[in-house]
Structure 1
């Protein structure tokens, strides 16, 4: 399929694909909007009736811990196995973290911090870097434009 495409068409597909990946990954940062609902659910439907809204910082602290781990791991996998593998593993972790949060929210804030905070953000940052690096390689004359288009998807993800 790609053999018959021109360089420009391939470059556009790479950039558009990276934009879509980042659009999905950026949804993690809608956490500020869903946080009161998570805390209310945990307070009213679990044994953790003592929770207050400020304790949602546990989730973002877990996310902050996983960000450098995910970035380093994603870069290592991309360098040794390719962009597709690194992004694929990152996206699987991202989706698994969101899925596991469905079950974790019925148990404990700390399990939610592990699933939504750590696992989801680990996947986010494993899949964050490789599309950006790849796009910069596909547009050597204007790498900042390529990176900006893709990272714009990350910011737009929380908005959407």
Structure 2
């Protein structure tokens, strides 16, 4: 099936098999490998992306279901890798608060946090924890992740 998407602000069109998952399209066809495959069952959250501004686990979405949609992956938050000033506030906060250990969960956590902050720009700690439910950290870095999300929220509110 022919589909068209906008991924990280860039239009894309192509043919996909009707059964192809969005996560596989992103990783294999578009080379956006920050979107990880962790469990293939939607349990871990490493494949989380924004689909029309809402968080989805891309291992549960068929690529054809995303036809016409706008998708943001962790690469869409990156800016210039060599210049932290260009990074999304969440990426800077994750770095500053040491909220990434092994890094496997990081892209999913970033995207879940981005979705949360789009809905609630001033979340308290409980709201952040609730907003990140369904995204697992193998290293148990949750406290630092929560700190990073609240710090990014504060920066985003002060620099709209």
Compute the TM-score of the two structures, normalised by the length of structure 2.
0.27
Compute the TM-score of the two structures, normalised by the length of structure 1.
0.27
Q: Which has the higher helix share?
A: 1
Report the structure number with the largest CA radius of gyration: 1
Q: Determine which structure has greater relative contact order: mean sequence separation of CA pairs < 8 Å that are 6+ residues apart, divided by chain length.
A: 1
Q: Which has the higher strand share?
A: 2
